Amino acid sequence: MSHLRFPDTDGMRQEQATDGFRLAYDRAGPGEGAPAVVLLHGWPGDRTDYRKVVPFLSATADVVVPDLRGFGDSDRHPASQYSAAAQARGIAGLIAELGLRHPVIAGYDIGSRTAQALARDRPGLARALVLSPPLPGIGARILSPGAQREFWYQAFHGLALSTELLDGRPEAVRAYLRHFWSHWSGPGYEPAEGDLDHLVAAYGRPGAFAASIAWYRAGAGSVATSLAEQAPSPGDRIQAPTTVLWGDHDPLFPFEWSDRLGDFFTAATLTSLPGSGHFTPLERPEQFAAAVAVSLGQAGSRDLRDGAVAVPLSYAMAQSRCP
């Protein structure tokens, strides 16, 4: 089995729509019977965010990498059905259509929120989760002056002005996306011009930028989500074993915000990725793939080394509560 687009094929397309959306996806792996993995991209990206991760996994796993609804080659419609719960429904529909049994679901940015919603709404569907920020537990800290200097774009995306200035204008989209890919990444990482060209082609089409920010207009962004969240009762925490990979140079989500993971997950492990920014699948693809492989039971924890630092949740929580 190999239907991987990266970078020269057209991918595949879901046959059955969920909420009126059909998803485009790539699939690679050894064929029937291999354990399944679903990889969920972030904003401002698409399914090619995992182009460096898939080669590490596809020899032994059935790897499915979709464009979320409203992104890439997936369907996009006027701003409705783009919340985390709605995105999760779409991924659940794809998992069912492809007959994936208990996949490991991995994601960062909006892909992380979507994976979390899927695990909360459908306990038992995922074998395990591999997540990078955002994670729950941020709370009102997202309103701090430092945080708001980073999260300004979420309020901007709620304005009609954002689409008036950017939608259908490829050169404006290029400058806008370049800012985030450069500013949110760790030291020494810059998007290649060819990769930026791909994203501009995807986001610069009429209607594409507007669809990509429908997530924020649906109230699914980190500011709205963090202010609304409440720690669940122990029985309602996410039950799936969860590996959290947290870049220590992520300007949006400082490592200190990992202190409340234990309030939201029953079984989570936390690993710091020194030198990595927000785009962990591209900045640390080997460690990201290794975490997925460990979750599949295919590799030992030694494969997470090369600079990654495992941090006990109890220590992270205690450090955050020190005066």
**Digit-coded pLDDT (tens) for 147-186:** 999 999 999 999 999 999 999 999 999 999 999 999 999 9
- What pTM, to 2 d.p., does this model score? 0.91
CATH of the domain at 108: 3.40.50.1820
Mean pLDDT of 222-234: 95
Peptide bond into 78 cis (omega under 30): no
> Which domain, by its residues, includes 282?
2-142+231-320
* Residue 152 included in any domain: no
Band (pLDDT 50/70/90 cuts) for residue 32 is confident
Instruction: Look at residue 213 and tell me if it is in a domain.
Output: no
Q: What is the rounded end-to-end Cα distance, in angstroms, of the chain?
A: 55
Q: What is the pLDDT of residues 78-103, one digit of tens each?
A: 767 999 999 999 999 999 999 999 99
- Tell whether the model's pLDDT for residue 8 goes beyond 50: no
As given in the structure block, the two tokens for residue 285 are 């693809």
Q: Establish if 62 belongs to a structural domain.
A: yes
Task: Tally the residues of the chain.
Answer: 323
Q: Count of domains in the chain?
A: 1
In the predicted structure, residue 309 carries a pLDDT above the cut 70: no
What are the C-alpha distances in Å from 181 to residues 61, 132, 175, 187?
29, 16, 10, 12
In a domain, 207, yes or no: no
